[in-house]
Structure 1
Amino acid sequence: MRLVNETQARTCVTLENAIEAVAAAFRDVAEGSARNLPVVRERLASGLGTFGVKSGEIDRFALVGLKAGGYWPGNAAKSDLTNHQSTTLLFDAASGKALACVEANWLTEARTAAAGAVAIRALSRPNSTDLGILGTGMQARSQIEAAMTVRNIKKVRIWGPEDRQANALAEVLSEAHPQIEIIVAEREDTVRSSDILITVTPSQAELFPEDWSPAGQHINAMGADTAGKQELPVSLLARSRLFYDDLVQSATLGEFQRIDLKSGTASSLLDVLAGKAVGRESEDERTIFDSTGIAVQDLAVAQLALSETV
């Protein structure tokens, strides 16, 4: 069995190739050639972390596998470990032979950002130039940079609960992308002025009132991945076109856990990519993508890392 370490994975998997790998895996699921298996996600009895397992298979690679790991919020403060810890195991689907162990901290960040970019490319207005983000944690930079790869972003507004962290993110992004105007803004201005809005926080309550969101805006709701989390107003969901990566997860762990999805008001982003569902239908339509993260994303980027380190 091969080992792909964190350094190798970061070298091999960029946001650009992760976006295409995730888009292909999404289409595979919609077309029936990839499957996600039941998810395990539980808070530990110790209270120190949340542990989960996501597993699935992709026929195109003859792979079955799983990603195990989760979130330990005290790591960064007391050690050199990041709060998010993940490892992916890949197996030969024909024999069950273990093929690889892939360290997946960066890959989890990259596949999450990639899913957001896939949704932006499929659902936002093509002429979108203003990007806003609520949240300044470890995923914020990759979310912004992935969006930049699929839209001609000219201005980025950043809001976070801590000015120091927001200013630090704006500084590093300005150095990396001097051609783009990047500012720290108030929460209301960030929401109201953005063609594309990304929410990536651990919030358990709505971050803004529904009337701040303008017509035609596309929103990537990336933060809710556990029961009890919430970033968007329920009333805003009722006034928008809704899209998801996994219906069950969105209804139980994601942003849609407070609404009734049985009425057919939400569509699969995966089906949109495969041409089985309709995406944005007008300039004024507001679209929301709820990303909860699915196993095929993890398998696709792990396989990409494995193939690039041969």
Structure 2
Amino acid sequence: MRRDELKIFDSEAVASGLDYPGCIRIVSEAMQALSAGRTKQLLRTMIHMGEGRTFAQMPGALADDDMFGAKMISVFPDPARPGSRRHRGVVMLFEPDEGRPVCIADAEEITHIRTAAATAVGTDALARPDAKTLLLVGTGGQVRTHLQALPLVRDFDRILIWGRHPEKAQAIADEEGARVAVPIAVAYDLQTACGEADVICTLTGAKEPLVFGDWIRPGTHVNLVGSSGPGPVEVDTPLVAKSRFIADSRASALDAAAEFLVAREAGAVSDDHIVAEIGEVLLGQIEGRRTAEEITIYKSLGHAVQDLAATAHLYRSAPEQ
């Protein structure tokens, strides 16, 4: 490859080149580096382009002597799936010696895989070791990647999928069943499924709570993934209030973690309810789960350093053309 040539990864190249075990390891390292202050990133900035349409920018650097760059994405309604939105864009990487751009990767596929990897990191750190039942709430693209990532960190013996349209959940179960070595079933009643689950992942575009504190049994771990900005919430305030609440970034959670912000506005929690960043838990600085009965929440907002670390891993591991 010429010195000034860009490596370009389309969605197929990202999907084939970014392996889940490697991405889980890379994201874990990135979150530890973030909490240790070794990375640099700005809070996500968003330009609203009309109803339901957003252009977002996420710049960052893995270190002074490592890759830096940005993710730029549009979040627009998906005409093929009414009520849902797609994240389209690019991740741009620069090398640290001369500041040359060296890589462009499809941001939608990077986001799908690294988000699932981040959920796996949070689950591995916070869920009970004996967790056996996984519940995925939603039927969008994130469900498929979470089906690949979560069984890598816990020995589940059952996976449940709930969606507003059971036929969509059934289609995912049928299509993914051959790739996932765990029985997958459709959950027709969300309250019942929540009461059976050891690990719950909310992966929806819901604007109002779908999952309620009264439904969650002691010892459950909940990953809040679907809402990435103020406004839409996937769970209610009582669940937030009674949980041990851990975020991927404290600064980002105080700015954009919708479920936490709603609970704080209601007076149910204060800023110190965010007890830790997941990186602090991984570094052993703050305890994650303290008891088998504790309800834990991992709030995933997604960060530039996750995208950059995943893309850098893809770039460095790709064969020369």
> Shared topology, TM-score over 0.5?
yes
Matches within 5 A, 1:222-233: 222-233=225-236
The residue that corresponds to 1:202 in the other structure is: 205
Answer whether contact 1:204 1:230 (CA < 8 A) is retained. Answer: yes
Q: Does 1:13 align with 2:18?
A: yes
Alignment partners' CA distance in 2, 1:221 and 1:232: 8
Deviation, 1:28, is 1.1
Given candidates 59, 64, 67, the residue that maps to 2:63 is: 59
Answer whether contact 1:75 1:83 (CA < 8 A) is retained. Answer: no
Q: Does 1:175 align with 2:178?
A: yes
Answer whether contact 2:43 2:252 (CA < 8 A) is retained. Answer: no
Alignment partners' CA distance in 2, 1:28 and 1:87: 23
Alignment partners' CA distance in 2, 1:48 and 1:126: 39
- Which ranges of structure 1 fall in alignment gaps of 5 or more residues? none
Q: Does 1:105 align with 2:114?
A: no
Paired residue secondary structure (2:123): helix
Matches within 5 A, 1:48-197: 49-59=53-63, 62-76=66-80, 83-177=86-180, 179-185=181-187, 186-197=189-200
Paired residue secondary structure (1:188): helix
- Provide closer, same or farther for how the CA distance between residues 308 and 215 of structure 1 changes in structure 2, counting only shifts above 3 A: same
- Provide closer, same or farther for how the CA distance between residues 43 and 7 of structure 1 changes in structure 2, counting only shifts above 3 A: same
Answer whether contact 2:254 2:271 (CA < 8 A) is retained. Answer: no
Residues 178-222 of structure 1: CA deviation (Å, up to 9, x unaligned): x42211111112211000001011111111331110000000000
Answer whether contact 1:133 1:190 (CA < 8 A) is retained. Answer: no
Answer whether contact 1:111 1:297 (CA < 8 A) is retained. Answer: yes
Paired residue secondary structure (1:140): helix
Q: Does 1:44 align with 2:53?
A: no
Alignment partners' CA distance in 2, 1:65 and 1:216: 39
Alignment partners' CA distance in 1, 2:141 and 2:250: 26
Deviation, 1:60, is 7.9
Paired residue secondary structure (1:76): coil
Counterpart of 1:137, as a letter, is G
Deviation, 1:264, is 4.5
> For structure 1, which segment, 27-36 or 125-134, has the greater mean C-alpha deviation from structure 2 after superposition?
27-36
Aligned length in residues:
305
Paired residue secondary structure (2:141): coil
Alignment partners' CA distance in 2, 1:137 and 1:72: 14
Answer whether contact 2:162 2:190 (CA < 8 A) is retained. Answer: yes
Alignment partners' CA distance in 1, 2:313 and 2:274: 34
Deviation, 1:39, is 1.4
Alignment partners' CA distance in 1, 2:167 and 2:131: 28
- Which ranges of structure 2 fall in alignment gaps of 5 or more residues? 1-5, 265-269
Paired residue secondary structure (1:263): helix
Answer whether contact 2:87 2:107 (CA < 8 A) is retained. Answer: no
Deviation, 1:48, is 5.9
Alignment partners' CA distance in 2, 1:96 and 1:60: 11
Alignment partners' CA distance in 2, 1:253 and 1:30: 18
> For structure 1, which segment, 147-156 or 240-249, has the greater mean C-alpha deviation from structure 2 after superposition?
240-249
The residue that corresponds to 1:307 in the other structure is: 316
Deviation, 1:75, is 4.4
Paired residue secondary structure (1:157): strand
CA RMSD in angstroms, aligned pairs only:
1.8
> For structure 1, which segment, 223-232 or 279-288, has the greater mean C-alpha deviation from structure 2 after superposition?
223-232
Counterpart of 2:140, as a letter, is G
Q: Does 1:29 align with 2:31?
A: no
Answer whether contact 1:9 1:104 (CA < 8 A) is retained. Answer: no
> For structure 1, which segment, 246-255 or 217-226, has the greater mean C-alpha deviation from structure 2 after superposition?
246-255
The residue that corresponds to 1:295 in the other structure is: 304
- Provide closer, same or farther for how the CA distance between residues 174 and 77 of structure 1 changes in structure 2, counting only shifts above 3 A: closer
- Report % sequence identity: 27
